[in-house]
Structure formats: C-alpha cells, structure tokens
Amino acid sequence: MSGVAFFLFTLIYFSSSCCSAARFQHRHRYMERKLMIALASKIGINYGRQGKDLPSPYQSINFIKSIKAGHVKLYDADPETLTLLSHTNLYVSITVHNHQITSLGTNQTTAEDWVKTNILPYYPQTQIRFVLVGNEILSVQDRNITANLVPAMRKIVNALRAHGIHNIKVGTPLPMDSLRSTFPPSNSTFREDIAGPLMLPLLKFLNGTNSYFFINLQPYYRWLRNPMNTSLDFALFQGNSTYTDPRTGLVYHNLVDQMLDSVILAMIKLGYPHIRIAISETGWPNSGDIDETGANILNAATYNRNLIKKMTAIPPIGTPARPALPIPTFVFSLFNENQKSGSGTQRHWGILHPDGTPIYDIDFTGQKPLTGFNPLPKPTNNVPYKGQVWCVLVEGANEAELEEALRIACGRSNTTCAALAPGKECYDPVSIYWHASYAVSSYWAQFRTQNVGCYFNGLAHESTINPGESFVLLPKLDKNNSTYCHGSCGREMIAASFRALLCEEEQLKEMEDE
C-alpha cells in the first residue's frame, strides 16, 4: 500500500470511529433525556407506614393506582410491597436504611448481597428506578454514617453494573438545612461543616453517574418561620407576587422555584453546574397543632394541585435558573401517619384516609383543570393564633398508657418531674393520672421550643380550653395573690406556662378538711 493510500485509509478509519463515537454519545444523551422526561412526567407519591390504622400494602398499592400516581417511593425495600408492585406500571424507588450505610460503605460484598436481596428478585418486573441511600442522614448523630454515604452509594452502583443494570439511579435525599443560606438564591451555599467532607464527594459521584441531587422540600416550614416576608399565595403557587434576585435578576413567581434554585446555585458554586435535581419529598400539611398557622386542608389541596400542574407541564417549565428542566417529584405523603413524633403537622401530610377516601380531591396526572375540583371549606387558621394553649391528657387512657407517658416525659431531664418526687410539693395525691398530667405538661413547656409536640404517642393533645375552668372550685390564693396548690406546685406550673391545673383533688381534700 502506498503512503498516500495508507494515509487515506487511516483518515477514513478514524473519521468513521469518531463519527460512531459521536453518534453513540448523542444517542446516549438522547436516551438519558427521554428517561428524565419520563421520570419527571410521572408524579410520585411517598408511601410511609408509621401509623397504627394503615391499610395493607395490597390495599395501599390499589389506592396509589386509583389516584393515578406514576411513581411510588418506599422508605424501605419491603419484599411484599416490591412483589405486589411487579403487577403494576408504577415506577418504584426503594430506600437503604440509615443504619445500613456504614456496612455497605465498608464492604463491597455487603453491597452486592444487598442488591441480590433487594433488587434482583424483583427487577425488572418491578420497575425500580431509584435507590435512595439513607434519608436525611445529616440528622443522624453517628458520623460514621455520613463518612460512608458516598462509598456506600458507589459500591451499590458497582453491584448494579456487575449485573448489567444501568437504568437505576442511586442518590440520597437531603434536607434544605444542608444549605447555610438560601435567600436570595444567588447567596446560597452549602454549610461549611459538610461542603468539603460530604458535598464535594457526593456531587462528584452524582455527576459521574449522571444521577440526581434529591432534596426534601417543604415550603410550609419556610413560610411558617417568616410569614410577614413571604406571602401565603407565593408559597401556594398563586397570586401575582414576584421576587427578583438582586444579583442574578432572575424573577420568581413561587417559593418552590426559589428554594430549588438555591440548591442549584449552591452546586454551581462548588463547581457542578449540570447535576440534575429531583424533589424526594414535598407537600403541605392538612392539619397541625393550634399554633401551626396555615396547616389546613384547603392550603394542602391548593399547594399539591398547583405543584402537580407545574411539574407535569409539557414542555417542562423548570426553574428560572434552569428553564425547561424536567424535575422528578414525589408528593408527601399517601396517608397521615399517627405514630410519628414531633408537632402535629408531622402526622398530617396525607392525601388519603386509611380507607382510601380522599382527604381532598387531587389529580396526579395534572390534566384536570384547577377549577374542576369541588370547593373546600375556608380555613380559620391562616393567621396566627394569639390565645393561650394547654397540653392535656386525652380521655380514656388506661393506666399502662399513662405510665408510659410518665416514663417518656420524666426520662429526658432531671428537672421535668422533680416536683413529683416523694416529699416534694406535687407528690400528693399519689395518682397516676395527676402525675402523668403534670409530667406531660411540664415536659411540653420545657422542650416545646425544640420541636417537641404535645402528643406522647396519642396520649395528649393541645387545647385552647383551660382544664381548670371545668371545676367549680377555684384554686386558693396565697397572701401574694399567687395561685397555689399544695405548696408551690401550682405556682411552678403557672410560672412555667404548664397550663394544666393538676391540683383539683388536693383543693377538694383541703376544703373538706376545713
């Protein structure tokens, strides 16, 4: 072969190879984009099971199909549920428990065993699309879990690839408090304590595997903290109010876009401008404690309906910083979950009652006009409650339940139940009911600013009615006009805003003695 001929052959060969590689990359990007749009077009639902009265997985899956959700996110990898889901067209996300992360991150064999146990028996009949490693791990005290998060994610991907599985993305849901600041969006950055050790390795992994940054997004709490500067309509995707970021000039018409762009711009500042984003949890509470303003059925319905309408739009709307970006989204959640701790809103995010009837009507396809839903009653709690609130025991609790409430309330701090010790001012009367009443009131007053609710596994609730007002006999007044009841017990409760008068029996006894 002449030199000229060889040169031409070589040129044609490498040109053909380059064209083939370019075609492959183009097709790969096309398929990724197609998958991303498919995932985003199917609004998902979070299926949690922390409730006493919830239906079986079989019934729950039928309910999920009835609301026309396209994707279901599990907080575990429950075998029964995954088997049942194989008979549906639902996309599925499964979760690795936080406590499993360290062992997965330190041993490839453990990760392979996890994939063999939790994915291979069900895939591809069950359309698993996401494996979420942990859930809001920043709230976990064990630093080993945080350190092993990305290694665990990498080892799960290795195990999936070893079995030829390439269409399951691996990620981890993080809360908004992973950001140091979020307002304005252009000012957003990740927290200094996690930016280097956690976020940089995580973003590198997500970028390298073409996965998603999953964010748990709850505009309700953002609005609740500062309702004077953020209008309720802005949080609910309605009204005409806007906000313009002073640095970028981007104009925001709702709080969700503002929060999403905070995450996007924080990732850009760490050098990752192209990582896709997904909303792993978002919603609005349908009820809550007395002082949790705006938690009601109308606001929940309005938020979720408008959210679904935005996220299912074709072509995708995206955000001001990422126009036309498809964003996979999971509504939180399928049911109210009455075994969750914390404030009342923690137990009231559901869209269905346990029997499958809707708490409010909703269309997960986004095709129903917003004017096509039946009207809901106007709320009465869209403005802050300004009265007093008491924490009181529910009626009908048995002695074993009261003892459990007493144990919970007195177990955290030595001062909570100090007045109930033998010989102390509130020891008498020796009644489990009154001791438990004092304990829950004292505990709630002491720790309510730390997101402790007046709930105690359903044994207590908030009330706007002073429990002492139902008694004809009023507490005595001492010489300083301070209400008292058996020593200083009553004064302690009033001063600490315990708001539960626990001493009626003592008053009756003292009057009888007089």
Q: Phi and psi for 96 in degrees, rounded to 5? A: -85, 130
Q: How far is CA 235 from the centre of its chain?
A: 17
> Encoding tokens for residue 179?
């950001």
Q: Which positions ≥6 away from 438 have C-beta within 8 Å?
A: 417, 419, 420, 426, 489, 493, 498, 500, 502
Q: Could you identify the residue written with the tokens 């309005």?
A: 302
What is the reported pLDDT for 398? 81
Q: Collapsing DSSP states into helix, strand and coil, what is residue 55? A: coil
Beta-sheet pairing, 91-96 with 127-133: parallel
What is the reported pLDDT for 165? 96
Element (H, E) at 95: strand 91-96
Which amino acids are annotated catalytic? 136, 281
Report the b/e string of 455-481 with b at 16+ CB within 10 A: bbeebbbbbeeebbeeeeeebeeeeee
Distance, first Cα to last Cα, the chain: 125
Give residue 96's identity as a one-letter amino acid code. Answer: V
What is the reported pLDDT for 477? 27
Q: Which of 331, 385, 319, 378 is nearest to 358 (CA)?
A: 331
Give residue 508's identity as a one-letter amino acid code. Answer: L
Pair 312, 321: CB distance under 8 Å? no
Element (H, E) at 74: strand 71-74
> Encoding tokens for residue 503?
């001493």
The DSSP 8-state label assigned to residue 48 in this structure reads -
Q: How far apart are CA 408 and CA 354, in angstroms?
A: 28
Q: Which positions ≥6 away from 201 have C-beta within 8 Å?
A: 150
The DSSP 8-state label assigned to residue 86 in this structure reads T
Q: Which of 142, 272, 122 is nearest to 207 (CA)?
A: 272
The DSSP 8-state label assigned to residue 289 in this structure reads -
Give residue 297's identity as a one-letter amino acid code. Answer: I
Give residue 264's identity as a one-letter amino acid code. Answer: I
Pair 230, 258: CB distance under 8 Å? no
Rounded to 5°, the CA angle 130-132-135 comes to: 150
The string of DSSP codes covering 343-393 is SGGGG---SB-TTS-BSS---TTS-S-GGGSPP-PPPS-SS---S--EEEE
Q: Which of 292, 327, 285 is nearest to 310 (CA)?
A: 327
Q: How far apart are CA 354 and CA 490, in angstroms?
A: 42
Q: Could you identify the residue written with the tokens 């879990």?
A: 145
Element (H, E) at 93: strand 91-96
Q: How far is CA 238 from the centre of its chain?
A: 23
Q: How far apart are CA 329 and CA 307, in angstroms?
A: 9
Q: Which of 247, 106, 102 is nearest to 185 (CA)?
A: 247
Q: How far apart are CA 172 and CA 35, in angstroms?
A: 19
Q: Which of 280, 284, 279 is nearest to 235 (CA)?
A: 284
Pair 287, 295: CB distance under 8 Å? yes
Q: How far apart are CA 452 and CA 456, in angstroms?
A: 10
* Mean pLDDT, the chain cut into blocks of 10 residues (514 residues total): 59 59 54 63 93 94 96 98 96 97 97 98 97 93 92 98 96 95 93 94 97 97 88 94 94 97 97 97 96 95 97 95 96 94 90 95 93 93 86 81 83 79 77 81 80 80 68 29 37 37 39 44
The string of DSSP codes covering 446-491 is HHGGGT--S-TTTTEEEESS-GGGG-SSPPEE-TTS-EESTTTHHH
Q: Is the preceding peptide bond at 124 cis, omega within 30 degrees of 0?
A: yes
What is the reported pLDDT for 469? 47
> Encoding tokens for residue 359?
């708490």
